[in-house]
Homo-oligomer: A and B are copies of this chain.
Amino acid sequence: MEDVTPFRSAEQRLADRAAKRAAVLRAAVRMFNEKGFFATSLDDVAASLGVSKRTIYHYLSSKDQVLLECLTIGLEQLLEAAAQARAEPGTGRDRLAKFLRRYAEINMNDFGRCVIRTGEEALSAESLPRYRAMKREIDGELRGLIAQAVEDGSIAPVDVKIAAFTVAGAINWPARWYKPDGAESPEKLAAEIVDLLLKGLDRPGEKHPV
């Protein structure tokens, strides 16, 4: 049997801190999505966790930092999805399909919804450059995947920029209307939306298994 000590190890304390910080971000992102960033105060977020605003400041320095962290979590999920899609075997169309499905799914989770629902005007001048840089990176990934599918001939020779805007719009939109308690799962909705979009990108007459 292990020795039991009432004192937490440094590791336990770090893990505890990370868990509490994550809980603050989860509570905040849900409120931002529901009430909007401007109508949400850190007092509301603290109250929903049964703590004081001072406790929140122990983990995050300001409402702006809370927002930037929430957005970063969402954007990092998208970057990870792009990296995974790039590593997939198959055609450019296969990799694009993989990325778009995952992208649409992320846009229906709490942090992904926050990315789409938050306008740039909510960010401070200090946070905006980091946010924009991540957005640009994701846009670059999407364009890269479309360009590769055009190059290997697995989709039609579309205008990469227009195609990227079109599919991004379609898969971003659920962040505005998707209800987490809705009847359809994000996975099913994502697959259906992406199927329609990919059909629009296919070469004339070409058929692909769904």
Chain A residues in the interface with B (C-beta under 8 A): 35-36, 38-39, 117, 119, 121-122, 158-159, 162-163, 165-174, 176-177, 189, 192-193, 196-202, 204-205, 207
Contact = CB atoms under 8 A, between A and B. Distances in A.
A177 B196 contact: no
B165 A193 contact: yes
- Considering the complex of A and B, which 6 residue pairs feature the smallest CB-CB distances, nearest first? A169-B173, A200-B200, A36-B121, A38-B38, A170-B170, A169-B170
Number of this chain's copies in the complex? 2
Contacts of A196: 158, 162-163, 166, 200-201
Contact of A119 (B117, B170, B200): B117
A36 B200 contact: no
A135 to B, nearest CB: 10
A174 B162 CA distance: 10
A176 B166 CA distance: 12
Nearest to A35: B121
A103 to B, nearest CB: 12
Given A121-B39, A196-B166, A173 B174 contact: no
Contacts of A177: 165
B200 A162 contact: no
Contacts of A199: 199-202
Nearest to A168: B173
16 contacts: A35-B121, A36-B119, A119-B176, A162-B193, A165-B170, A165-B174, A165-B193, A166-B197, A169-B169, A169-B173, A169-B174, A170-B173, A196-B200, A197-B200, A200-B201, A204-B207
A188 to B, nearest CB: 9
